[in-house]
Structure 1
Amino acid sequence: MVLAPGARRFLCGALALPCAVAVASFGELSGGALLVVAATGLLVAGTGVAARAGEVAPAVGRRGLPWAAWLVAAAGWELVTLLHDDLPSVSDLADPLLSHPAARATATVLWLAAGAWLVTRPRGPVTP
């Protein structure tokens, strides 16, 4: 089943609200919140994969170097914090900001919006 970009955006938006409400109501680090976020993330990612099934991915080239650098830096930070208990991880730094349910719900919607943008972005150069 192939969805139009507008339908994919609507589907991702329709998934965002119940997910944000569940995350806000279940509370921090709960199994219910983890399950809802994982299921919603898989649905959003599945929408993108289904829309691009059978396509050949274009070569990334040098455009991917900044993203690779960020990924290596983030993984390195998490590894160092895993080895040294006195250093805070990204999760530890974000905990005070996400302690309020409304902040968690907002962060969840923003996370889903970023995922929806990734799965619905144009496949090639946009011509005016």
Structure 2
Amino acid sequence: MKMYIKSVMVEDQQKALEFYTETLGFKIKHNIPMGEHSWITLVSADEPDGVELALEPNQYPAARKLQDSLMEDGIPWTAFGVDDIHSEVQRLEEKGVSFTQPPMKAGDATMAVFDDTCGNLIQLIELHA
């Protein structure tokens, strides 16, 4: 089975689109207007045919409550893998991204957590061989 879509709930799709493309470097795969909102999916510039990240509007009250609870408890919504976490953290900090957890080694991985400005904490993970 192939994974096709991974979703992240966002407060404002246009703000999220700007952050995820201009700051993080994702590329737009689909941006289809659907009334008040759009079907927006992004892909990694390194894997244009890889898993798509959907920017889902958090209009459903239960989804919004979950998003708020995760943020309040400091739990990341999702994680993105990187090859060099220290370089990636430095690159993102230079773009104004706020990290709630600096790089921290944990077993065979190093992790960091940042605020995506759209209602989520996102974890970066570098796996060590």
**TM-score, normalised on structure 1?**
0.25
Which structure would you say has the larger Rg? 1
The answer to which structure has the higher strand fraction is: 2
RCO comparison, higher one (Cα < 8 Å, 6+): 1
